[in-house]
Amino acid sequence: MQTNPPDTTPSFSDFALDDRLLKAIAALGYEQPTPAQSQAIPIALQHHDVLVSAETGSGKTAAFLLPSLHHLLARPTFQSGARVLVLSPTRELAQQIYRHCQQLAQFTDLQIALITGGDDFKRQQNKIRNNAEIIIATPGRLLEHLEQDSPNLDNLDILVLDEADRMLDMGFSEDVLTIAEHCNTLRQTLLFSATLHNRVLKMADKVLKNPQMIALNSLQDEHASIEQQIILADDNEHKQKLLAWLLQNESYNKALVFTNTKIRAESLQGPLRGQKLRVGVLHGDLDQKERNRVMALFSQGEIKILIATDVAARGLDIPGINLVINFDMPRTGIDYIHRTGRTGRADEQGLTIALVKSTEWNLMAGIERFLKRSFKRRSIKELAGSYQGPKKLKASGKAVGGKKKKDDSKKTPAEKVKVRHRDKKNIGKRRVPSNKTAAD
């Protein structure tokens, strides 16, 4: 069942939330709910399972935290164990949810625990044993605790799966299902995802019971507030020159540059710093302390440019990013959507630019076809290259590939004699089709 948007935009007070939550909402300066909040909160408050498709930046964190916090305040209990569990795909996103939860619960006595990799395991155990009502965790680290028989999830009231598509992409499918099996079977489950591809729907079938569905975007949603461009490049060296020019000449508060590998990300940092640009790098091989340091510098504006692999493509909510550059073309349309979604948030204007060399043309064309849109072609006069795109295109927009003829000039004399001898033997022979016999 899919709900329809309400006729009028409600206020937070219309949700009949606990007064302590309304006080926190006012203190945070929230004025009106986002569409994700106005549709998801009333349904979640009725204790229905919910499946929500909404892009990052749509206010979905508050959409699951507010009804969860209200439930705990409206139905206090003396039973031990966590009552709300929020699973997040990455440490950084879990930390953001934790901070947001602290803000919304600031006028309550609710205990919140953050359980992620990279932090002291025994200290986390102590937090769990102190009967934290709310646990915000990454799947891998939570499983490690479950193997030590903590936390107790027998009395869990609400399970939240945030960025479910990202968790599946990162290979957490079995971990999530294992954790769900440890949870109270009478729980409410809220599943939030930026996309609704088949794997997400299969996961939903396993963990949700008669869910209400709220689809605020589709897989191929256009970002109306984002201009999407491509610039053709001759090679990676040409790309580096284009990248430096864009970062020196475009107007932006913060910029994200995406690469497909950590080696590429590292290799770009030095040349850009040589251009007096404030640059940081984020990828999966950095230890947690360094990742936290880089993210803090980027959030605070100490560095304006972050070169990242797809570890930063989803979930992170950093204001002020209005330029995204794909140094490497993303491998899939879904990856492109998530990279692009880092900008143009909250109806602010954003710009995304993909640098495309000849070997990436078909990948780019496939993403255009997947999104059912055409990217704006752009060139930089000062750095015009020789590659102008394929000479011939298929109906799909991909390049027409021709088989190269073998160069006889590179054959040895013996090979040339062998070929002439073979051709002489075949002269006059009638070729027999493979589906017929000579007698036919």
* Strand, helix or coil for residue 241: helix
Q: What is the pLDDT of residue 98?
A: 97
Q: What is the pLDDT of residue 217?
A: 64
Say if residue 232 is exposed, middle or buried (CB neighbours under 10 Å; 0-12, 13-18, 19+). buried
The reply to whether CATH 1.10.3720.10 applies to domain 12-215 is no
Residue ranges with strand state E in 259-364? 279-282, 305-308, 321-326, 350-356
| Per-domain boundaries in the chain | 12-215, 226-383
Instruction: Give the C-alpha separation, 90 to 206, whole Å.
Output: 22
* Mean pLDDT, the chain cut into blocks of 10 residues (440 residues total): 52 93 95 91 95 82 96 90 94 94 96 92 89 94 91 94 90 94 95 80 88 71 76 96 96 95 94 93 88 91 93 69 95 79 75 96 89 88 92 86 50 53 48 35
119 within 8 A of 91, measured Cβ to Cβ? no
Q: What is the pLDDT of residue 100?
A: 96
How many other CB atoms sit within 10 Å of the CB of residue 399?
16
The class (CATH top level) of 226-383 is alpha beta
Q: What is the pLDDT of residue 262?
A: 92
Is it true that 12-215 and 226-383 share their CATH fold? Answer: yes
